[in-house]
A and B are shown apart, each in its own frame.
Chain A
Amino acid sequence: MTPYEHEATAQRIENSLRKCGPDDYEIIIEAAMLAGSHWLNARLHRLGATQPTQDVMHTYLLVVNELRRLSVADPEAVGALSTIEDLRPAYVRGAHAGGKEAAQRALSLLELIRASARSS
């Protein structure tokens, strides 16, 4: 996908987020992960770190060397997406206490990734 297409999809997901309330913390975390990955891909394509044919889906599916390489391109955004992903087992798949707070954390991290993408 091109940077523009990634940004449009991320924006669509963020528009849909407006229909979710604080109790929907599972989907808020997932939406932050999905939109965040689209913003990050737009950023990495614009930096020339990845090609439009080579999208990152999850940071944990990257081989270690590629994760290190992309972290050189934008360490904060890559780290933010990784942190969102780490919220999923406990609060999305699981029922650990603190889901609403975790969702707010995910939204803050999404803001960071979006701001990074818009700066390029």
Chain B
Amino acid sequence: MQIPGHLKKIEKLNKLRARLDPLDDFELWFWATMMSGTHAVNAALHHAGVTEPVEAYAMQPGVYLVPQPDGCLVAKFGALGDVLHVGRPVIEAPVPEDVHQMMHAMERIEEHRDPCVREGRKPTREVVDACEQAFGECMAILNHRCPLE
């Protein structure tokens, strides 16, 4: 997607995060955090010129749904636009240090994904705090590059 589209998604998801309780609603709170942070990384990668801000929606690495003039979506191979998650796919091109920090923050969040959302480990206040801190770092860097409204 293009940068404004990512920023709009981030604003929506951040408002949703505020309505969810980090422990009682952990699964959706965590998922909204992860989705918002991934949009932030994509916006920053586009802003830095590392990836292409094209209106195409990632299906899997290298494959995108591309909107057509008639409103339909067509699956096509394409150059790297949006990543699905940090590391999927791995970015081979040089990444600026601040964006690298965002990606590292997202990796710290995502390490809790499978254990706490998929595999039944009970989320703790420590997990929530670690995710919140990493998310805050990610958003702060994004705001420096592409200020949110």
> In residues 42-79 of chain A, which contact B (Cβ within 8 Å)?
55, 57, 60
The answer to whether B13 touches A95, judged by C-beta atoms less than 8 angstroms apart, is: no
Instruction: List the A residue with the shortest CB-CB distance to B73.
Output: A90
Chain A 13-55 residues near chain B, CB threshold 8 A: 13, 15-17, 19-20, 23-24, 26-27, 30-31, 34, 37, 55
Cα distance A9–B20 in the bound complex, in angstroms: 16
Q: Please tell me if B59 contacts chain A, counting CB pairs below 8 Å.
A: yes
* Complex contact B9–A95 (CB within 8 A): yes
From DSSP, what is the main secondary structure of chain A's interface residues? helix
8 Å CB contact of B82 from A30, A60, A93: A93
Known A19-B19, A30-B35, A89-B58; contact A24-B12, beta-carbon cutoff 8 A: yes
Is B65 interfacial (CB-CB < 8 Å)?
yes
Q: Does B94 contact A (CB under 8 A)?
A: no
In this assembly, does B130 line the interface, its C-beta being within 8 Å of a C-beta of chain A? no
A19 and B25 contact, Cβ closer than 8 Å, known pairs A27-B31, A92-B35, A97-B71: yes
Q: Which of A9, A93, A95 contacts B27 (CB 8 A)?
A: A9
In the bound assembly, the distance between CA atoms of A31 and B117 in angstroms comes to 11
How many chain A residues touch B (CB < 8 A): the figure is 29
Report the Cα distance A44→B5, complex, angstroms. Answer: 38
CB <8 Å contact, B25 and A34: no
Whether B67 lies near A27 (C-beta < 8 A) is: no
B51 shortest CB reach to chain A, Å: 14
> From A92, which residue of chain B is reached at the shortest CB distance?
B35
Bound Cα distance from A60 to B13, whole angstroms: 25
**Chain B residue, CB-CB nearest to A31:** B28
Cβ 8 A contact of A13, one of B19, B28, B65: B28
Residues of chain A with a CB closer than 8 A to B147's CB: none
9 new A-B contacts, CB < 8 A, other than A27-B31, A94-B58, are A15-B25, A16-B20, A17-B28, A19-B28, A20-B28, A26-B12, A30-B28, A34-B117, A93-B57
Q: Show the binding face of B for A, using Cβ within 8 Å.
A: 1, 5, 8-9, 12-13, 16, 19-20, 24-29, 31-32, 35, 55-60, 64-65, 67, 71, 73, 82, 84, 114, 117-120
9 interchain pairs, CB-CB under 8 A: A13-B28, A19-B25, A30-B31, A55-B119, A89-B64, A89-B65, A90-B65, A93-B1, A95-B9
